[in-house]
Amino acid sequence: MKHLFILLTLAGLLLAACGGTPTPDIEATVQAAIAATQAAPDIEATVQAAISATQAVQAAVTATQAAQSTEMPSAEPTITPMPPTDTPVPEQPTHTPVSEPAGGTPTPSPLTTTEIPALGACTYYVAPGGNDSAPGTEAQPWATFQHAADSAQPGDAVCFWGGTYPTEETHLTRSGTADALITFIAYPGEAPILDGGNSAAELLILDPGTSYLRVSGFALQNFRIWGVELSGDNRHIQLDHLDVGGGEASIHFTYGETEGPPAEGPVEHIVLEDSTIHGSQYSAVDCTPGPCNHMVIRRVEIYNTGLEGEAFYGSDGLEFARGHDVLVEDCYVHDNGGDGIDLNSRDREGNVPGIIVRRNRVVRNHLNGIKLWAGGRMENNLVWGQGDSAVWVGTFASSVEVVNNTIAYNMWDPAYSERNWVFVAGYPEFGSPPAVQLTLVNNIFAFNADPTQGGPTGIYLGAGVELVREGHNLYWSRGDGEITAEFVSGRDDADFTRAEIADGTWTASTGQGQGNITSEPLFVSDWPEVDLHLNAGSPAVNAGSAEGAPADDIEGHPRDATPDMGVYEQ
């Protein structure tokens, strides 16, 4: 599917650039491009290539607009708009609700966002005070997003001037094509605001089937339920440079009952990047029931969601109930009432392919930090300040890789913390313990749960866990129980103490544990001014394993031949 998309994209680019006349040379070039695409190393590269190519097509199409055919798309989707009568049902909490909101003031985002790409030209314009009966030119702009959505053709770029647009529920029913997205974008330097006036239930609704769109550069506010909804069967959508706040969820993917199948088809090949999402009542970026496949969530800040509301129990920053090939990277997910990043909670068959969570900062969420229920790889994540277990993986049978994460000072803030293991793999939440193949390398676990409070704070490995590889981790959380390993037989106690890791007992019992460290990590700054960079004298410096370590650290610095443990390379 994605290769077909890229094929069409590249073909369209080449044809547009050559004035629409195919030649044998172009065919050969396209064939070469297909081969290159099929060799693309991963989802990220493929999706990025597709997006880049599509943007290039848009520019080419704009540049050659005079020569372009003006014919209408042959088949406009016939869609019956679906009224948003179904209030999303929150996941039943398995944890005690946080009793009161805390951490209410978000810290400023340190995200470095990219600029909105300059447009070669805009096909149409929209402005506050415009007129939908006008021709939509720069001098005589339209007034509403709905009119723009009803008028745009594949390849069109509709540019919005800054200001506030009172917005009712806006249905996007027209699709672009593989070689020509429809783009709705803030004019460079402008800041359009879509405002629902606290009466609109939703603002931008991509009806079932609507595909090949880009929405860029808008703030969405004062809606009651969802800011952006992808109803289902939506594919190849780019959402970027958005600021969405409030409602029940800011961005919602797939329509249907939470515990049931989706009412429409899956949402697939979506990029959400360089955006800020905040202040929802329930999960802020919500794919329930799903599935959401081939997703890229990148450089998104998600904060202050799930902290209050009628049915308050603590909702997540990012919650994808079902879906494969999901990449979450370079996000800052903090101060949410529930979990930070929660993936695949309804994929009970387990072993979901293509789940990657990396280089995220997951901070002060009041329940878990990162949950990978059905497998995946998490690397270079900075996870501190959670109110409950920082990381929870392998609730369903799966393979899980946990590499170069720094997991410290969780369950430390008494304002919202409970006591639990800091890291849990293969917990028997649904009866028998799930079979989990776990790789656990180069991580730092330190200062998890206030030691004055008592209770479990080490890591938990269930009876179905098989350690593919465990080693080069630093354990400094709970001296009398750093590792609880239910799968180890022949002991009175499943808990391995810090001393038993240091003296070789753990290694003798499991055949693992090479390179583990059981001393203080020596962070730059401890609680409350948390800075988990390593001091030069830290034992974690150069103590990691190069095998399977990520090429760079969380800040993009290349890792050397002797990687440091945790997220930072010195």
Distance CA 489, CA 510 (A): 10
SS3 29: helix
- Residue 393 beta carbon to Ca ion: minimum distance, rounded to whole angstroms: 13
Q: How far is the CB of 300 from Ca ion (least distance, A)?
A: 17
Of 160 and 320, the one with the shorter C-beta distance to Ca ion is 320
Residue 311 carries which side chain, given as an amino acid letter? A
Least distance from Ca ion to the Cβ atom of residue 413, Å? 19
CB of 494 closer than 8 Å to CB of 488? yes
Q: What angle do CA 193, 196, 199 make, to 5 degrees?
A: 170
The b/e string for 343-362 (b: 16+ C-beta within 10 A; e otherwise) is bbbbbeebebebbbbbbbbb
Nearer to Ca ion, 274 or 342 (CB): 342
Q: Which is nearer to Ca ion, 535 or 542 (CB)?
A: 542
Please answer whether residues 489 and 452 qualify as being in contact, where contact means their C-beta atoms are separated by less than 8 angstroms: no
Smallest distance, Å, CB 94 to Ca ion?
9
> Count of CB atoms within 10 A of residue 372's CB?
29
CA distance 90 to 112: 32
Which CA distances in Å does 51 have to 9, 54, 156, 179, 285?
9, 5, 16, 11, 21
What is the gyration radius of the CA atoms in the chain, in angstroms?
A: 25
Nearer to Ca ion, 154 or 340 (CB): 340
In the complex with Ca ion, which residue's Cβ is closer, 510 or 542?
542
CA–CA distance, 217 with 188 (Å, rounded to integer): 9
- Whole-number minimum distance, CB 434 to Ca ion, in Å? 18
Q: Specify the amino acid at residue 548.
A: G
What SS3 string covers 117-179?
CCCCCCCEEECCCCCCCCCCCCCCCECCHHHHHHHCCCCCEEEECCEEEECCCEEECCCCECC
- Our CB check for Ca ion shows the closer of 184 and 282 to be 282
- Indicate the residue among 240 and 342 with the shorter CB distance to Ca ion: 342
| C-beta of 240 vs 339, nearer to Ca ion | 339
- Residue 424's H or E segment, with its range, is strand 423-425
**Which CB atom, from 439 or from 542, has the smaller least distance to Ca ion?**
542
CB of 245 to Ca ion, least distance (A): 20
Q: Name the minimum Å distance from CB 435 to Ca ion.
A: 23
- Where do contacts with Ca ion occur on this chain (CB under 5 A)? 316, 339, 342, 542, 560, 562, 564
Q: Token pair for residue 392?
A: 């929870």
CA end-to-end span of the chain: 42
CB of 560 to Ca ion, least distance (A): 4
In the complex, what is the shortest distance from the CB of residue 195 to Ca ion, in angstroms, rounded to a whole number?
30
What is the DSSP code string of 285-353? EEE-S--EEEEEEEEEEEES-SSSSTT-S---SEEESS-SSEEEES-EEES-SS-SEEE-TT-TT---S
Residue 233 Rama label (left phi>0; alpha psi -120 to 50; beta)? left
Give me 404's structure tokens: 């170069």
CB of 297 to Ca ion, least distance (A): 16
Q: Whose Cβ is closer to Ca ion: residue 11's or residue 343's? A: 343
